[in-house]
Structure 1
């Protein structure tokens, strides 16, 4: 069942990527889309130049994960906004300021997906699914579950933490970051 959802989700993502039709994050057609500006810089460089995503940009540097984005492979980063880290208070501060970055690297990997998926791709996959959700594995070995309601795409981790897509995606190199309102891991 889990593989079926993944296959359906990935198929829908591929179909959405090939479609020239504009749609909103909930999949409804409204004639406009939120598009990411294409740049030649790497994703970590693009994030470093994006207001509100400085914490995740710095985490990519500190953990060494930024090097992955110099390669040709494509990734989708579900990027917690700075406010999401700030709301977590001392546990997030301890995580981002620790000398040992293993826990921070694990957190980042739990927010990374293989392949380039726009918010519209994910919304289309949700719409095409039989149960209104799409499960996608992370590089950290977990699974993120995506759903949509009222024009908003939400994402939940296996531990129950949730966030919503928020703002325009950021691209760099062959990868994309989708800003979200929360950190997808209990700290």
Structure 2
């Protein structure tokens, strides 16, 4: 089957041009929705993805209609390739059944890998710079005196960590940390 996917971002936009182009490209069934590309929940796209089988095709009139962002588009196209699904973007002439289309797919995959690695390098450089400038990394040090008092009172009443979490709404990790602090402070006295 040749599945078409058409999307516009706003309710007042029109799908007619996309539908006409997808029909002319031989789409057997067209999934269409009016929803922002940034939305993580796109029901019609999800329905189409669930129906795809090896040998099927996915056609879009514009590559940007497919995903939330470049990384999402590249991931979808890579998933199609792994599943044996042909992908066609009419605006760019991408057709993964052709050598040129497969080459474009390879370039996209390389760009995605480059972007992932670059993000990691930038993140690490930022962390190292912050540390060099003496900035604290991670959770802010210190104790919430009100929470500490609640934990202390609860422990004195004989409650378990789990019971303290349920009664106070304080996270389990915080309760355990305060319990350790309270235990170590009483041991040092």
Do both proteins adopt the same fold according to a TM-score greater than 0.5, normalized to the shorter chain? no
Kindly name which structure, 1 or 2, has the bigger radius of gyration based on alpha carbons. 2
Give the TM-score range, shorter chain. under 0.3
Larger helix share, 1 or 2: 2
Q: Which has the higher contact order (CA 8 A, sep 6+)?
A: 1
What TM-score results when the alignment is normalised by the length of structure 1? 0.24
